Amino acid sequence: MSLFGGVIPITGITFLMFSLLIITFLGYALGRISIKGVNLGTAGVFIVALLFGCFFYEPLCNQLTVKMADGTAVNYAENALKIVENLGLILFVTSVGFIAGPKFFGNMKKNFKSYVALGLVVIIGGGLSAIGCIFLGRWLQPDVPHDEMTAMIVGLLSGSLTSTPAFSAAKATVDPSLEGIVSVGHGIAYLFGVIGVVLFVQLMPKFMKANMEEERAKLVQASDGEAKKYDGKLIELDGFGIAPFALAAVCGIFVGMIKVPLSAQGLSGTTFALTTTGGCLLMSLVFGHFGRIGKISFMPPETTLKVFRELGLMLFLIGAGIPGGAEFVAEFHVLYFVYGVIMTIVPMILGFLFAKYVVKLSLLNNLGSITGGMTSTPALGTLINTAGTEDVAAAYAATYPIALISVVLVSQFLIILF
């Protein structure tokens, strides 16, 4: 097969497709294993993808190495997996936005201050735990230069919160010679950053002996109900709602590309963008809220949204998990892993306690907000299955933008100040 002036063997594409499918099968099988009512669910795919990356990333790279016309060899494995990851993310967050859209603005109207405060508490908690780890690291590892320790901790922070925007902002802010250290930190912390929040949203209802039927009822009361329905017959662009879904995603991609300057240098300096994740989430929330333009329906059927949500989450976990497994094995350091665990657990617990005792959110609203505050895509998928309702997505969607902006700023402040 010809590709950009080179030739890639058909066996390479076959091996990639086979890998994706076998990881999917084994991942879901692993996710079904339940220990005292707790299971990994779709996150089982992430574990299998990590293990695959540990042992088979190099063979995958070899299969996807392209011989160019000039005789040089280019490895396309990383790009292929990034496409899988980004496609999955687009499918997942766009589905979540459509699902949350009808109730999102009613929910925000009642709980706006609570969501903003909770998002800030979670990220500030992460920032404070990062500062603590910086000083602890300088004490335990005095031979490590201060700027290298800070770069490592900021990378760990972005990984512990599974935040790609924070990761990108950190790499753009540090000295170019330290970008590799940020990447190492992100890779080390990412594993527990995913698994920790997934387990947390399952364990907390059990620890609190929550009655899920009552909690679902409280969640419904937290919103103003569905968006207004149209009495006339709407025109559907296609029976599965794929066309309006694609339009919302395209609009979201363009919105996510808009850059807002955060420094005096304007667009040539540090900037902030919603990225594809935030842009697709925002636009699908708007599409889901209004549901139509005139007599044309722009709301996909619930079955389509559920399938795309699960498919997207699966693809995202595979695309992120395979290279993550390879990086984790190559760069693992026990002390740095512990720092990452701290930066996942501390903000999560602080946020939960703040939501429960200060702003007094119901349990499912609380946990939905925590998944948004921790910017944890996999945890939301797990929570939806645990809660037995899609309505938790509204709390995730409300807190996520606040956390997204805050974690980018906190990462940059840590580098500047320390």
User: What is the token pair recorded at 351?
Assistant: 């946020």
Q: Provide the pLDDT for residue 29.
A: 93
Q: Which domain holds residue 367?
A: 86-227+252-312+330-417
Whether 180 is covered by a domain: the verdict is: yes
Whether 67 is covered by a domain: the verdict is: no
Exposed, middle or buried by CB within 10 Å (0-12, 13-18, 19+), for 328?
Answer: buried
Q: Provide the pLDDT for residue 231.
A: 66
Beta bridge partners of 2: 7
Whether 168 is covered by a domain: the verdict is: yes
Task: Find out whether 182 and 172 touch, Cβ atoms under 8 Å.
Answer: no
SS3 145: coil
Question: How many angstroms separate the CA atoms of 98 and 289, rounded?
Answer: 8
Q: Provide the pLDDT for residue 244.
A: 93
Whether 44 is covered by a domain: the verdict is: no
Strands 296-297 and 235-236, by their bridges, are parallel
Whether 304 is covered by a domain: the verdict is: yes
In the chain, what are the helix, strand and coil shares in percent, each to the nearest 5? 75, 5, 20
Whether 8 is covered by a domain: the verdict is: no
Question: How many angstroms separate the CA atoms of 343 and 59, rounded?
Answer: 34
pLDDT in tens, the chain (418 residues): 444 444 445 577 788 888 899 999 999 999 888 887 777 777 788 889 888 988 888 888 888 877 777 777 777 888 888 889 889 989 988 998 898 888 777 777 777 888 888 989 999 999 999 999 999 988 998 888 888 888 889 989 988 988 776 776 777 677 777 777 887 888 888 888 888 988 898 889 888 888 888 888 877 665 555 565 556 688 888 889 999 999 999 999 998 888 777 666 655 556 667 778 778 888 998 998 888 888 888 899 989 998 998 899 899 889 888 887 887 777 778 899 999 999 999 999 999 999 999 988 889 889 999 998 888 878 888 888 888 888 888 888 888 878 877 887 888 888 888 8
Q: Provide the pLDDT for residue 325.
A: 80
Task: Find out whether 249 and 284 touch, Cβ atoms under 8 Å.
Answer: yes
Beta bridge partners of 3: 6
SS3 406: helix
Q: Provide the pLDDT for residue 6.
A: 46
Exposed, middle or buried by CB within 10 Å (0-12, 13-18, 19+), for 139?
Answer: exposed
Beta bridge partners of 297: 236, 292
Residues 6 or more apart in contact with residue 266 via CB below 8 angstroms: none
Whether 4 is covered by a domain: the verdict is: no
pTM: 0.78
**E strand residue ranges, 279-356:** 292-293, 296-297
Residues 6 or more apart in contact with residue 13 via CB below 8 angstroms: 1
Could you read off the pLDDT of 369-414 as tens digits, one per residue? 999 888 887 888 888 888 888 888 888 888 887 887 788 788 888 8
Q: How far is CA 57 from the centre of its chain?
A: 22
User: What is the token pair recorded at 66?
Assistant: 């392209």
Measured CA distances, 201 to 38, 258, 406 (Å): 10, 33, 22
Domain total in the chain = 1
Q: Provide the pLDDT for residue 232.
A: 65
234 — phi, psi (to 5°)?
-90, 150
Task: Find out whether 297 and 242 touch, Cβ atoms under 8 Å.
Answer: no
Whether 2 is covered by a domain: the verdict is: no
Q: Provide the pLDDT for residue 181.
A: 81
Strands 260-261 and 271-272, by their bridges, are antiparallel
SS3 295: coil
Strands 2-3 and 6-7, by their bridges, are antiparallel
